Amino acid sequence: MDYTDLHPVPECKNGTEAEMLCFALDRARAQFAWKTGRLDAEQLRRQVPPSTMTLAGLVKHMAFVEDGFAARADGREPGPPWDATDRVATDRWTWNSAATDEPEALYALWYGAVTRSRIAWREMVADGGLETRVESGSPDWIVNRRRILIDLLEEYLKHTGHADILREAVDGLVGNDPE
């Protein structure tokens, strides 16, 4: 699996707010897929000291983020494998456990999460849109879906930057988009 498996939406220049945000998210997903794709287990697990971050950890973390943010925006809890423990423990587990996961399993997990998330966001935008308010178990954190979608985009932008640095150290790949 690689970035060509994402089938990004066509260029969006004059869409609605939701269409523009989803386009930006799809573009960030494609960049992330390009920076993390087509690597073997050793390359995915390689650390660049002093950081312990790996591309494998990034891929699994972003699968957790995709499923978790879509679930939160839809007012539900995430499903397996994320439902085993609380969110903080699960987030730590994603980073640590990725070191023993095989590349095919990591890529399948992330691509599956992207597919589920795209479907969920399409349905949520059609059913109430981005203004729908979401409670998240805390009275201090009641937001609308727009905020969660922007937070998801922000996660991709941040972690694609990490992947950019790690990937260059692994095999010299640089740039913003594939040729």
Q: In this predicted model, what pLDDT tens digit does every residue of 109-145 receive, in sequence order?
A: 999 999 999 999 999 999 999 999 998 667 777 899 9
Instruction: Give 45's Cβ-side CA count (13 Å radius).
Output: 11
Q: Report the CATH fold assignment for 25-171.
A: Four Helix Bundle (Hemerythrin (Met), subunit A) (1.20.120)
Write down the domain spans for the chain: 25-171
Preceding omega of 50 cis (within 30 degrees of 0)? yes
Q: What is the pTM of this model?
A: 0.93
What number is the average pLDDT over the span 38-45? 97
Model confidence band, residue 9 (pLDDT cutoffs 50, 70, 90):
low
Q: Tell me the three state secondary structure of residue 96.
A: helix
pLDDT of 149 higher than 80: yes
CA distances (Å), 15 to each of 21, 23, 177, in order?
Answer: 9, 9, 22
pLDDT of 177 higher than 90: no
Give the integer Cα–Cα distance in Å for 136 and 124.
16
Q: Who's near 117: CB < 8 A, 6+ residues apart?
A: 66, 67, 69, 70, 152
